[in-house]
Chain A
């Protein structure tokens, strides 16, 4: 049997589970069904550009950007510190970071609900200390917190992977040429870790911008994000055509942002990381 033949099961798999569903989504987005009438239309797309839906899109992108920036600001130092620690402790630290990820995503988000509730653990602690309780639950802040908590490892891991791969002798060379620790970081470590940063940003931004669980549980459903909108169209409203159109728009946005990110990553190292 030729080598080539081994590929057929995968081609079959991809066709059934990737190409066909995508094609169906595309078909739904370009058609309409109204009672007995059905046909081809672009109205699903034009409808999305009404202000009410555009606002949802903008809010989603806004929250996802904020979460991504916070993840980057938290994740880079964490990755840097772990990469600098003794090799014996390094794996333990990474493991500690990964263990929460082994638990169910929903469960972890529910856990935050009980922590943030009006009579939750955090507010109990605050009142027992004589401070006024906070109203975090069902705010943008809670949604961002949920995103940062859930997606932070996706920022830490790619940056960490790039950082430990940086040749130690490059750092020594920079020191040797007169650069102190700060300048060495700025001129050597940081630029060399950019592929990891780019892949971290992509990996945090994409799930953040499409999430609907976090915004529903921690946002209390009052902040509709693009993910919620799609979910509603399919589950509650039953307008599969409009839902599909939004999904297509979403996919385009992600594709465009990924290609922009990849342009920064000349060597394509970041893409190879995942």
Chain B
């Protein structure tokens, strides 16, 4: 990515949004803005409110309280057909009574675009999603991947300012999903459209996005670049949800010093109370094993699995079973000592 993180103006802003269904609060005081040409992903487990957030932006739901601004204008109560956003639905929602051409042309026909223009734009879209020659095919005769492409074309042909994608790759098999990930990212960059993408797949979120918004129980846990979310998770939930991690209880002895299972480790965090109990998050690949007694945490290798690029080992210590990824294998039953670089120790305030 040239120039790294390109900052541009806000296109969409959610201001203090709360959504309550009967007595169930799905979204709590959500604040979020989206910049032009950004690929932003709402990531979280099912029921975290990510799809509801997307539906609020699309106009299919209205918030219980709070405002939504589009290019500075309040669109909170605007119906979907007056918003300059288009949606790729989770199960595609293609019109079964229309063929591929008419599905894609639907939005243009509503806008009364002239016939030649429609033909030209649909044709362009079909070549963009690699479906040339599929014009007169029935929707029911298409594979899942092809339907997916038609759904994307149907939304993009309207040249929306913002494209909403609700877990669009969820129904595809792994290989096709990977291909579509790359293609979607390419499309987004070449068309210069803002993408708001919803997924529960953390890998998908990290690969495609400029910005990831991690949500849980209707609350935003962290907003940041994929690297930041992965390397500097703000709390134990994010750390646990994004990739694998070891989450351990620790005691913050003083600034830059934490005690884990009776062993003191240098770290880079500060600003906690003296002897405060904290969550310590360590990524499996950040732990180094040594056979020499270096005074760190002692344990025994319990299990080794070869994963291709690395070995996945579980190491039993007195208090906790660590997950460790390493290219260097220690055989089962070996007595090892676990060490971590100060940079790789992430200290988080206990949530509860």
Contact = CB atoms under 8 A, between A and B. Distances in A.
A22 B150 CA distance: 52
A170 B155 CA distance: 13
B95 A179 contact: no
A192 interface: yes
A130 interface: no
A137 B85 CA distance: 59
Interface in A164-195: 167, 169-170, 172-180, 183, 187-188, 191-192
Given A167-B93, A173-B154, A177-B107, 11 more contacts: A169-B89, A170-B96, A172-B89, A172-B93, A173-B93, A173-B94, A175-B79, A175-B81, A176-B86, A176-B155, A177-B81
Contacts of B155: 176-177
A89 B85 CA distance: 34
18 contacts: A169-B89, A169-B90, A169-B93, A170-B93, A172-B80, A172-B93, A173-B87, A173-B154, A175-B59, A175-B60, A175-B79, A175-B81, A176-B58, A176-B85, A176-B155, A177-B86, A179-B81, A187-B106
A192 B87 contact: no
Q: Which 5 A-B pairs have the closest CB atoms?
A: A177-B107, A169-B93, A173-B93, A175-B80, A178-B110
B158 interface: yes
B111 interface: yes
A161 B298 CA distance: 67
Interface of B: 58-60, 79-81, 85-87, 89-91, 93-97, 106-107, 110-111, 154-155, 158
A179 B87 CA distance: 14
Interface string A149-171: 00000000000000000010110
A188 B96 CA distance: 9
Contacts of B107: 177-178
- In this complex, the interface size class of chain A, counting residues with CB under 8 Å from chain B, is 10 to 19
Given A183-B110, A187-B106, A176 B80 contact: yes
Interface of A: 167, 169-170, 172-180, 183, 187-188, 191-192
A170 B111 CA distance: 18
Contact of B95 (A175, A176, A180, A188): A188
A85 B79 CA distance: 20
A170 B92 CA distance: 9
Given A191-B97, A192-B96, A192-B97, A177 B89 contact: no
A107 B87 CA distance: 55
A36 B87 CA distance: 81
A188 B80 CA distance: 16
A173 B89 CA distance: 8
B48 to A, nearest CB: 20
A167 B139 CA distance: 15
A268 to B, nearest CB: 13
B81 A180 contact: yes
Given A172-B60, A172-B80, A177 B158 contact: yes
A43 B110 CA distance: 59
B81 A176 contact: yes
A115 B170 CA distance: 61
A183 B93 CA distance: 17
Among A167, A170, A176, A179, the one with the most B-chain Cβ atoms within 10 Å of its Cβ is: A176
Given A172-B60, A172-B80, A192-B97, A178 B89 contact: no
A177 B106 contact: yes
Given A169-B93, A172-B89, A188-B95, A179 B79 contact: no
Nearest to B87: A176
A260 B87 CA distance: 39
Contacts of A180: 79, 81
B340 to A, nearest CB: 48
Contacts of B154: 173, 177
A183 B158 CA distance: 17
A180 B79 CA distance: 9
B89 A174 contact: no
Among A174, A177, A188, the one with the most B-chain Cβ atoms within 10 Å of its Cβ is: A177
A191 B99 CA distance: 13
Contacts of A169: 89-91, 93
Given A172-B93, A191-B97, A178 B60 contact: no
A102 to B, nearest CB: 36
B93 to A, nearest CB: 4
Given A172-B60, A173-B87, A179 B93 contact: no
Contacts of A178: 81, 107, 110-111, 158
A173 B95 contact: yes
Contacts of B111: 178
A257 B81 CA distance: 40
Contacts of A173: 87, 89, 93-95, 154
Among B79, B81, B85, B155, the one with the most A-chain Cβ atoms within 10 Å of its Cβ is: B81
B54 to A, nearest CB: 11
Nearest to A188: B95
Nearest to A170: B93
A129 B96 CA distance: 54
A174 B97 contact: no
Nearest to B84: A178
Given A176-B86, A177-B86, A178-B111, A170 B95 contact: yes
Nearest to A175: B80
B195 to A, nearest CB: 15
A174 B106 contact: yes
Among B59, B79, B89, B95, the one with the most A-chain Cβ atoms within 10 Å of its Cβ is: B95
Contacts of A192: 96-97
A173 B154 CA distance: 10
A175 B95 CA distance: 13
